[in-house]
Structure 1
């Protein structure tokens, strides 16, 4: 979702166009009338002046009316939010949040390499810190993930100083003098420049002084990502903005990508390693980086991954290096030697259709037409691909994977003993005893995987699937802890979209293992499922579904030949190749809609009966707090709403939950972002905590729950009710721009941690907007009518899994944010199968669904009438575009009533209604407007009266003279 940007500005201008035109017309008419009076009026000078005065009083009155229409109409919501009372955090909450932020980073920093036990660094108190990123590290993402400048930052160098290390000031000054800002990655612009001084600019004296200062060197490499742009896979592309650091060479020749070293960085590493034998590399970025180069430098003995720490989390880095904190992070993604070997490499990013001219729409952003991306890898995402492809002989695992998923080193050692696995026909359970067998205290992670029986040519299955995990407490040397593991056989089922069209648990042996990472098995046992179970009856649904789950996404398949394990991935070359067909099939064109061809009246049901509106039942919203969603009292309340009141709730939901005075519904504030609360209108922001990638690397559910509770605590002090998070899309590609904001390549790790965040916020009465629902795994052209094609198995097992787990953990009174992309040929927020059949009918969701940022004609496809009929309830709009309901048929009003029910149910069960109906008052801007109107009205009447008096006085004087 977006913050304030050029699209907002454009939308504002568009929304007030009629009033602006009217103002111009009034001014022109005033000028014309004045000129006409001067030329044609032969009456006295007094009459002429009176006419002039009357004309311009009328012009000013007309302008005042137009301004009032703008303020009370399209600008009303924005002004209400911008003039809302500012609520700041207390120092107590700031302190507690900062402490949690450091705790999360302590457990999220991941030790990838530690040759010769170089770390912890205890034999020196001085470090030469190389790399421009050491003075300009990355604290968070951009766009909705950006951080406030209202709070102090703990820098990377600060963390080393606080840990007792002295750093080389000459080097720091050298980098600071070279540059103080990196390229800007914003929602609407991207500069990927990496300021890094060329090796030739390091003087001999600088290097000699560094050697004298310390024998130890640290190299810092940073990469940033953010909303609106994916990381470039070809730095030589015309669309990529990058400034080289030297005129003598290119940092990134054509064909190289952003997640590998630039030439300047490599030259710097050559320089450092030729002068220092003890080198630590710190990678400060959220996206899995191509770290294969460390194999070429034996001097690089230790490698740390320190993802986005937020505003104070860097404090943990110095503690990890000194050994005050023992690293316990595990990778949330797979690190490859060569990122072009990722199965999404040829099918990531948008492709332009060549036969969709009928769907092209001219907008303020230029010509917009449908594009597509194919999820050709199917269920084989991340480690699921590498582990299975290796087992089938498709790849050489050791030559492909550098650091597996779930991998991380420690300063101590652990032993994990797997107890006997029991299976009662429903639940798999066993204990794992973890013992610290080393010399220092530390934490370990228990990772549980299953390997299901695969039958050649049958349902697709990966050979390694994370099914459960937990993290130990801090264990002292020799101390043990027993972790109890339990999961149901439903968790091992697969979705068969071709034959059974249902969830299926096939008969056979299921290998249950504990592993130190996705590849390294510690111990393994087998459970046998004697008979195939198909979850296709009312009394046998999958994972607690309220109705049987069956195919809903056939329209998203696209008829593509997805990657299959059959015959050892025999179709891999074809399936993973770049697309060669750029035409949308006629069957999909027939039901493709955007603003150019959608007409809601074509979908009206003539048998629908108009619901009651505007009834006088005397019910206030606060009366229904805690009342069951299906209680008949809700119908009485909904009968009271008028068409316009329902439309207000639905259309004006951007960054707020609108007020409806007639039922005591106060305006609630909903704000961004994933690691902080950022009010885009009052500019009040909370402390920025570490990004979700750090939470994922911590593998710590307790920390995730604390994260959500802390968001809730800050929300109370900021008078915020809704949180636009957690963000749970999958790291399908390492180049996705918002991987910092999302958790992992794995849906189970994502689901469990995000669920804890949601529940933590819910503990404080804050409703979370889990986002982006669904299949929003890339940023480029996400709002450019991007048709996302995938098969139903992958959609359900990989991409919907986190959303499902969150809903089933607490489907009551929460929220969901849609995504910009199309699923198949249907806009995600207009996909009834997604938003109604799956979300509500299957999973039992009772909250409300909101679009991603609604910019109507700017994006050329967002139509409130369409999405309201498909299970979406609210438009994330802050200005008037196409966010209002135009169709007032019974069919439309029935859907509006459903939407109002969902919004109001969520609102009344938020913390703002804990003590009855909250106080409400007229917005400050409305008070000011009324006061201004009164003043202007009095002045205009007075001026007109004065003009009349002067005209009469002149007439009397003229008559007397005559």
Structure 2
């Protein structure tokens, strides 16, 4: 081993010398070019670029001529070169923040102090140190592990290789030492109590190969990072600066391999991907690296029982496992929280019978979905904005694969490896429909589930529907998730009857031409599935005539198209003409039309409204309105008391808190991220409960457990002094490459809505405001923070992207929402979305906050369009100035907007435990 270290050190020093030499040459070359006449400099720079390109191509050809071993050595050396070359970037992040602080002080002078205080979390006055807080975290830890237990998915288990019969195992790969417990950015959580994989195995009575462990720990590439985490702001900065390139997987020596073979015939490898808020993933990052493949190949060739653990929040290409018969089992953990390793160990030992199901389609090619054709960096040539075309329409995830390959089973099997909803168990179950009530109002099935195996376990009954389709008519997926239920833990031979019901109108499609929802006549096949493709039972529901729904069932608001004013021409995918309508970014017009430019720039201030009263002395306190309806007349008297300055300060300085206005009894509130447990996006860290990422929560397919998680978060909030929660995140997995897929739940809107509604209701029932996010269409990180124009059609928006939010509003009664970065239908803070859809059509009563503020987010447009609070860490003074200037020009419109924002915000505050 000493000889190895000496050899590696010498090799590293040799590469370091090359790095320094090349750096000196580049510096010398720059000086040579700088000494030339300006007219010659550009030509020399161009020639140098051409030479570099030629050398790069030549190098590629040389690598092709090498054998595999030589090629691997060359790649390893290239990676080390790049690592050493970029080493100074470690200081870049803190340099950026230091420079940022300097700019703040120079730009804002005395007012810069408040900005720094916001970033430092001055107003985050919470107590996480009390005995009650310790108890709340202990409860959170229990719930977190319970979710991980039920969220783990068994995808493959040939010859019942799991649970392990021989409780001895070899753990290969550096990834086992850097298990991914949580995500990054706002989806980060406190991992200070995380359990290492090896401790989890030991605690569960599984012996791991200590010599193999020591071998890996002796390698310089290995840095165990259990419990390490940065604040959300730093993680996002790292994500924006990082190239997401792997450092490479160290090889296993022949001696270590021989010892491992003697130790046990069981082997395990953990595969991962790196995803964090602010960056998306490339296709290559969703495939295992050459180094990891080499490790898999070597392990599979030398061991007869190999377990592959998928520790990733994005769907990976897993087709390679079929090349190796010795990979008997595949366990998906997702991003399972700090105790997910305990759950994995319990699944390996058999203490826990896996009952999770995946929430995405695992395709052999991650780029095979139509949404992948329009995912990435698209910039207008004549408008300082990026854009993104959702040309896939309703065909997101399984809706595409199941519809495109509807009559082509062979093609389907070549495209899809693990269908949406897949998940195995250590036992078997039998289903039988014992009662059914199918009518024009509701669909209800009573399904008896019996454990026919030898061990206790839970099962999930997934209910889908296949609607009648007319070629050339309204677009419809061949199959859609309608609902689901999960059993309790059933002992062998035990049965449970599950009642699964949903409104018949939930199967209706949106008709853009007639601006309504419609159930077209014909046969609706109601299907019970183990997953979306493996159907257990089917019953038919016959509808003799069309049923047209003109109004929202809950509010009575008449339906109408709300997102067509932009006149953006899209060719949206149609099952009637797959080839002619299949998305492509090659035909995009990168020139924004005059109408689009006007739409982005225009904003209507309603100056004809009556000027509201301000600064009145009516003697009311906020508590006097407790229990009153949103539209009670007393609200008007209370709002009359607020001054314009008070309202401007309140709506602009609303990052992670809202300000106290003592004279009116308005309290300071604390609002915290995030979906996997409370965290603060700035520089403040604290101990809190930590949960699996949302994708792992959804993979439980357990609505009651989602509620329990929300309930626990609500109790924890009360204990700490937190009043609002920036979560859950309800956006869909539009593409496997989405950087925040770990933070979102699934590719299916109904699954998102059911789990999200359960979680939200649990929190709201404890008197804590839920801010469901990101409303809407925030499925890509690339260009998101520059204000990207997202284009779709009304049907896809309603049936896919709006659906989980609608379900959460109506089923959980949430009083908060967070708008997305996206320009929807050409508008950021789109009134048709925030006022028309959210408030008018769905009946939402509460507050809308922006996401973290960036330059394109103008407060005067926000508060006059339904976005009430600005989640503003850095630009509070500028926003206050902007509102004051807008007030001078549009006094009645701005005052009315501010007043509405205060009404919405304070109504939500009144529903919190502060006023119990």
Contact 1:102-1:312 at 8 Å conserved across structures: yes
Aligned 1:910-925 pairs, distance under 5 A = 910-914=912-916
Q: 1:394 and 1:789, CA in 2 relative to 1: closer, same or farther beyond 3 A?
A: farther
Aligned 1:191-340 pairs, distance under 5 A = 191-199=243-251, 202-233=252-283, 257-340=284-367
CA distance in 1, matches of 2:549, 2:827: 28
CA distance in 2, matches of 1:138, 1:217: 20
Residue in 2 aligned with 1:613? 614
Contact 1:491-1:543 at 8 Å conserved across structures: no
Deviation string 1:416-443 (CA, Å, 9 cap, x unpaired) is 1124432232111121111111111100
Q: 1:281 and 1:394, CA in 2 relative to 1: closer, same or farther beyond 3 A?
A: closer
- Tell me how far 1:789 sits from its aligned partner: 0.9
Q: List alignment gaps of at least 5 residues for structure 2.
A: 1-92, 230-234
2:850 is the alignment partner of 1:851: yes
- Tell me how far 1:398 sits from its aligned partner: 0.6
2:129 is the alignment partner of 1:100: no
CA distance in 2, matches of 1:855, 1:13: 19
**Count of matched residue positions in the alignment of Structure 1 and Structure 2:** 803
Q: List alignment gaps of at least 5 residues for structure 1.
A: 21-66, 234-256, 357-368, 915-962
Residue in 2 aligned with 1:415? 430
Q: 1:70 and 1:783, CA in 2 relative to 1: closer, same or farther beyond 3 A?
A: closer
Residue from 510, 521, 534 that aligns with 2:524: 510
Residue in 2 aligned with 1:883? 879
Contact 1:472-1:483 at 8 Å conserved across structures: yes
- Tell me how far 1:546 sits from its aligned partner: 3.4
Deviation string 1:525-549 (CA, Å, 9 cap, x unpaired) is 111222212222xxxx244243012
Residue in 2 aligned with 1:154? 195
Residue in 1 aligned with 2:477? 462
Partner SS state of residue 316, structure 1 = helix
Residue in 2 aligned with 1:25? none
Q: 1:181 and 1:441, CA in 2 relative to 1: closer, same or farther beyond 3 A?
A: closer
- Tell me how far 1:7 sits from its aligned partner: 8.8
- Tell me how far 1:913 sits from its aligned partner: 1.9
CA distance in 1, matches of 2:429, 2:783: 46
Partner SS state of residue 469, structure 1 = strand
Residue in 2 aligned with 1:112? 155
Q: 1:845 and 1:395, CA in 2 relative to 1: closer, same or farther beyond 3 A?
A: farther
Residue from 558, 561, 573 that aligns with 2:571: 561
Q: 1:579 and 1:111, CA in 2 relative to 1: closer, same or farther beyond 3 A?
A: farther
Partner SS state of residue 592, structure 1 = helix
Partner SS state of residue 818, structure 2 = strand
Contact 1:390-1:396 at 8 Å conserved across structures: yes
Contact 1:187-1:228 at 8 Å conserved across structures: yes
Deviation string 1:394-429 (CA, Å, 9 cap, x unpaired) is 981111000000110100001111244322321111
Residue in 2 aligned with 1:383? 398
CA distance in 2, matches of 1:310, 1:300: 26
Q: Which has the larger displacement, 644-653 or 452-461?
A: 644-653
Partner SS state of residue 122, structure 2 = helix
CA distance in 1, matches of 2:101, 2:914: 30
Moved over 4 A (4+): 4-16, 73-80, 181-185, 392-395, 576-579
Residue from 687, 697, 718 that aligns with 2:720: 718
Residue from 172, 175, 191 that aligns with 1:130: 172
Residue in 2 aligned with 1:666? 667
CA distance in 2, matches of 1:810, 1:630: 20
TM-score relative to the length of structure 1: 0.81
Q: 1:7 and 1:512, CA in 2 relative to 1: closer, same or farther beyond 3 A?
A: farther
Contact 1:546-1:844 at 8 Å conserved across structures: no
Aligned 1:51-200 pairs, distance under 5 A = 67=110, 70-71=112-113, 77=118, 81=122, 84=125, 86-88=127-129, 90-122=133-165, 124-149=166-191, 151-176=192-217, 177=219, 178-180=221-223, 186-199=238-251
Contact 2:388-2:788 at 8 Å conserved across structures: yes
Residue in 2 aligned with 1:649? 650
Contact 2:280-2:739 at 8 Å conserved across structures: yes
Contact 2:128-2:687 at 8 Å conserved across structures: no
CA distance in 1, matches of 2:211, 2:742: 32
CA distance in 2, matches of 1:196, 1:70: 43
- Tell me how far 1:125 sits from its aligned partner: 2.0
Residue in 2 aligned with 1:374? 389
CA distance in 2, matches of 1:379, 1:300: 36
Q: 1:707 and 1:206, CA in 2 relative to 1: closer, same or farther beyond 3 A?
A: same
Residue from 858, 864, 883 that aligns with 2:859: 864
CA distance in 2, matches of 1:6, 1:533: 62
Partner SS state of residue 344, structure 1 = helix
- Tell me how far 1:559 sits from its aligned partner: 1.3
Contact 1:327-1:411 at 8 Å conserved across structures: yes
Residue in 2 aligned with 1:362? none
CA distance in 2, matches of 1:80, 1:330: 39
- Tell me how far 1:13 sits from its aligned partner: 5.4
Q: 1:894 and 1:76, CA in 2 relative to 1: closer, same or farther beyond 3 A?
A: farther
Residue in 1 aligned with 2:591? 583
Partner SS state of residue 445, structure 2 = strand
Contact 1:81-1:682 at 8 Å conserved across structures: no
Deviation string 1:50-108 (CA, Å, 9 cap, x unpaired) is xxxxxxxxxxxxxxxxx4x554x655655773573543363322221111111101111
CA distance in 2, matches of 1:486, 1:260: 40
Deviation string 1:192-237 (CA, Å, 9 cap, x unpaired) is 23344343xx22211111111111111111112110001123xxxx
**What's the C-alpha RMSD, in Å, of the aligned pairs?**
2.1
Contact 1:651-1:874 at 8 Å conserved across structures: yes
Partner SS state of residue 654, structure 1 = coil
Residue in 1 aligned with 2:50? none
CA distance in 1, matches of 2:710, 2:507: 29
Partner SS state of residue 735, structure 2 = coil
- Tell me how far 1:191 sits from its aligned partner: 3.8
Contact 2:439-2:504 at 8 Å conserved across structures: no
Contact 1:762-1:768 at 8 Å conserved across structures: yes
- Tell me how far 1:324 sits from its aligned partner: 0.6
Q: 1:776 and 1:881, CA in 2 relative to 1: closer, same or farther beyond 3 A?
A: farther
Residue in 2 aligned with 1:874? 869
CA distance in 2, matches of 1:83, 1:774: 28
Aligned 1:927-938 pairs, distance under 5 A = none
Partner SS state of residue 440, structure 2 = coil
Residue from 531, 548, 564 that aligns with 1:534: 548
Partner SS state of residue 380, structure 1 = coil
- Tell me how far 1:292 sits from its aligned partner: 0.2
Contact 2:758-2:812 at 8 Å conserved across structures: no
Residue in 1 aligned with 2:631? 630
CA distance in 2, matches of 1:283, 1:586: 48
Partner SS state of residue 127, structure 1 = strand
Aligned 1:26-37 pairs, distance under 5 A = none
CA distance in 1, matches of 2:417, 2:744: 22
Residue in 2 aligned with 1:436? 451
Contact 2:126-2:722 at 8 Å conserved across structures: no
Residue in 2 aligned with 1:748? 750
CA distance in 2, matches of 1:88, 1:303: 40
Contact 2:571-2:581 at 8 Å conserved across structures: no
Contact 1:556-1:788 at 8 Å conserved across structures: no
Deviation string 1:461-503 (CA, Å, 9 cap, x unpaired) is 0011000101000001111111111111110011111x21221
Partner SS state of residue 240, structure 2 = coil
Q: 1:548 and 1:380, CA in 2 relative to 1: closer, same or farther beyond 3 A?
A: same
Contact 1:376-1:790 at 8 Å conserved across structures: yes
Partner SS state of residue 640, structure 2 = helix
Aligned 1:792-807 pairs, distance under 5 A = 792-807=794-809
TM-score relative to the length of structure 2: 0.85
